[in-house]
Amino acid sequence: MIQTHHLTKRYGDATVVDDLSFTVPNGSITGFLGPNGAGKSTTMRMILGLDRPSDGVALVDGEKFADLPAPSRTVGAMLESGSRQPRLTACAYLAWQARAARLPKSRIDEVLEQTGLGEAARKQVRDFSLGMRQRLGIASALLGDPTHLILDEPINGLDPQGVMWARSLFKELANEGRTVFISSHLLSEMETVADRIIVIGRGRLIVESTMADLHQHARSSHTVAVSPEPDELVRLLERSDASVERDSTDDSGRTLIIRNFSAAQVGEIVVGSGLPLHHLAQVQTTLEQAFMDLTAGALEYEGTEHDPMLASVATTARTGG
Amino acid sequence: MATADPIQTASARPRLRDCLEGEIVKILSAKSTGLTIALSIGVAVFVTVLITVFNDGSADPLSLSLIGPFLGTWLLVVLASNVVATEYSTGMIQQSLAVTPRRGRLVTSKLLFVAAISLLSGLVLSFLCYAVGQLILSGTDRPSIGLGDVSTIRAVTVTGVFTLVYPLIAASLAFVTRHATGAVLLTLLIAFFPMVMAELGSSVWADIAVRLAPGGPMESLTGQAQPGTVGYMETGTTVGVTIGWLSLFIAAAFASQLRRDE
C-alpha cells in the first residue's frame, strides 16, 4: 500500500503539491490523473525520495522508500522516458540495476522477453523509438519483481498494440496482488484499465474514487432546450419547479439547461403553452466530460482564478468509496 | 511475485558493495570510459616521448618521465567529472536513486570507483611513462635511471598514486556543480591558481601556496623537493594536507547530494 499524508512541496512561493493525502491499496490499479503541471510527477518523485517534501510524508507499506530493506524488490519505478544513459545497451542498462539491487542476472532476460525487447537487448538506448524506451522503462520497473509499481506516464508513445499490451500487463500484475500506481493526464488511458482514480489539480486532491463511482457520476444527464423566447420559457419551467440555467457558452441567451427534468418532461410542459422550441435534447455526460468538469479549475495555464471544485463524486468517494 | 518474507528480504538487502558493482557495470559499459582512459595513457606516453627525444640531456632523467603522467591525469579528471555529471545531464540520477535510495551509498560508490580507476590508471601511466622515457634515454646513450633505486620506485609509485587526487576533487565538484565542464574548470583553477599566484605574489604567499595547495605535497612525497627547498614538507604534513583537501571536497559532495532534490 502506498500512502501520502499531507504531502506538500513548495519551490519558493510556488506550491506544487498542496496537502495531498491519499491511499493506493494493494492489488489494484490506481490511475493518478490531472492536467499537465498538476503535480503528479512531483508527487511520485516524493514517494520515491527523489524530491524532499516541504511537509507531510509518503510511505510504502508504512515505511519511507529510502528505509525499505530491499527497495527494488518492493517498488519498481518507471520515471521520465528520457532518464536513461543513451549510449548504454538495453542489456547494460538493466545489468547495472540488477547488480546494484542485488537481483539475479536471470531477471534481465526475463523482463526483456516480458516487455518484447528480447531482440533489442544489444541495441543502444539512443537507437530506441519512444515506444521502445517506454517498454525499457517498464522492464526496469519489473526487474526486481516488485510488490508495488510506480509508473509515470507509461503509455505515452506506445503504439496501439503496445497500449493493449501494457493494459493487459498492468491488469495481470494487479491480479497477482501487486499495487499498480500509474500517472496519466488522459482519462481515456485509464478508463479501461484502472480500478481506482486519484485526480489532482494545482497540487490539490480533487477526487479519490473508484472507477465505478466516477462512472456513476458520469451517468448524470441534463436537458438542453433552445427557444427564441427564452425568458418566457424560463418562467414557464420554473412554475413547474424546474431547475433552469442559461448556457453560458451561448451569447444569444436562447439555450437553457434544465438539470432536474428529462427532455420528455420539458416537452410535455412546453407543448401546451404554444411557446416555440427550436431544439430539445437529453444530453448524457461522458466520462471524459466528467473529468474535464472536475479539473476545469485546475489547468496549469488557465488564467481564471477559482479553486478546483470538489465535485459530488469526491464527497461520495471519501465517505463510501 | 516477490513476497515480504523477512529471511528472503534480509538476504536480498543491497549493500555498498552491490551499489559499487552496479556503478562499475554502468560506467564500464559506456564506450567513452575505456576511450578516455586509453587517451589519457596515449597523451602521457606521447608527451613523455616528445620531451625525452627533444631533451638535450641536461634534465634529470626521472623528472623527464614524470611530466607525462601529470598531463594524463587531466583526462582522468575529465572522466571523473563525466562519471558524475552524466547522471544529471541524462537524468539517469533519478533511476540510480530509485535503485539505491540511500544517497550516501551512491556518492560513496561513485567516489570509490573514481579513486580506484584513477589509482589503477595512474600507476599504469607512471610506470609506462617511466619505462618509455628511460628506454629512449638509454637507447640514445644518454644518462638513464633504473628501478633498482628505492627513491626511484618511490617517485614513480607516488606519482601514480597521487594521480587519484585531482580526479577525486573533480568528481566531488561534479556532485556540487552537476556539470562536467564546471567541475573540470574548477579543478583546473584549484590546481593552477596557487602556482600562478606563487609566481606573481609575495614570497610568503608563494611559500604557503606551493606548500598547501592540493598538488603541493606531491613533490615532497616523490622526493623531488628536498629539505630546505621552498616546496618541501615532512611526510606527515604532506599526507595531512592531501587528506585535508580530499576530505573537504568529498564532504562538499555529500552535503550537496544529501540536501538537494533530483
CB atoms within 10 A of CB B189: 11
Lookup result for grid cell 598547501: B212
Q: Is the ipTM here above 0.85?
A: yes
Q: How far apart are CA A311 and CA A318, in angstroms?
A: 11
Are the Cβ atoms of A83 and B92 closer than 8 angstroms? yes
Are the Cβ atoms of B97 and A50 closer than 8 angstroms? yes
Supply the mean pLDDT for chain A: 87
Are the Cβ atoms of A100 and B19 closer than 8 angstroms? yes
Per-residue model confidence as pLDDT tens digits over B110-154: 999 999 999 999 999 999 999 999 999 999 988 888 888 888 999
Question: Which residues, including other chains, have CB under 8 Å from residue A32's CB and lie 6 or more apart?
Answer: A40, A43, A44, A181, A182, A183, A184, A197, A198, A200
Residue numbers in A near B95 (CB within 8 A):
77, 79, 83-84, 97, 140
Q: Does B2 touch chain A (CB under 8 A)?
A: yes
pTM higher than 0.90: no
Lookup result for grid cell 524506451: A133
CB-closest option in A45, A65, A70 to B14: A70
Are the Cβ atoms of B26 and A74 closer than 8 angstroms? no
Overall fold of domain A220-284: Alpha-Beta Plaits (3.30.70)
Please tell me the distance in Å from B260's CA to the nearest CA on chain A. 8
At position B80, the amino acid (one-letter code) is A
At position A234, the amino acid (one-letter code) is V
Domain boundaries defined on chain A: 2-216, 220-284
Are the Cβ atoms of B98 and A70 closer than 8 angstroms? no
CB atoms within 10 A of CB B244: 11
- Closest alpha carbon to B15 in B112, B109, B136: B109
Q: How far apart are CA B129 and CA B127, in angstroms?
A: 6
From start to end of A98-232, where are the E strands? Answer: 148-152, 179-184, 196-201, 204-210, 221-226
Please tell me the distance in Å from A95's CA to the nearest CA on chain B. 7
Task: Evaluate whether B48 touches B142 at the Cβ level (below 8 Å).
Answer: no
> pLDDT-derived band of residue A308, with 50, 70 and 90 as boundaries?
very low
CB-closest option in B2, B22, B92 to A84: B92
> Domain A2-216 - what CATH class?
alpha beta
Residue numbers in B near A73 (CB within 8 A):
2, 9, 12
Task: Evaluate whether A125 touches A89 at the Cβ level (below 8 Å).
Answer: yes
Per-residue model confidence as pLDDT tens digits over A291-306: 777 776 665 545 444 4
- Closest alpha carbon to B111 in B218, B23, B213: B23
Mean of pLDDT values over B12-24: 94
Q: How far apart are CA A50 and CA B101, in angstroms?
A: 8
Are the Cβ atoms of A96 and B26 closer than 8 angstroms? yes
CB-closest option in A52, A66, A92 to B29: A92
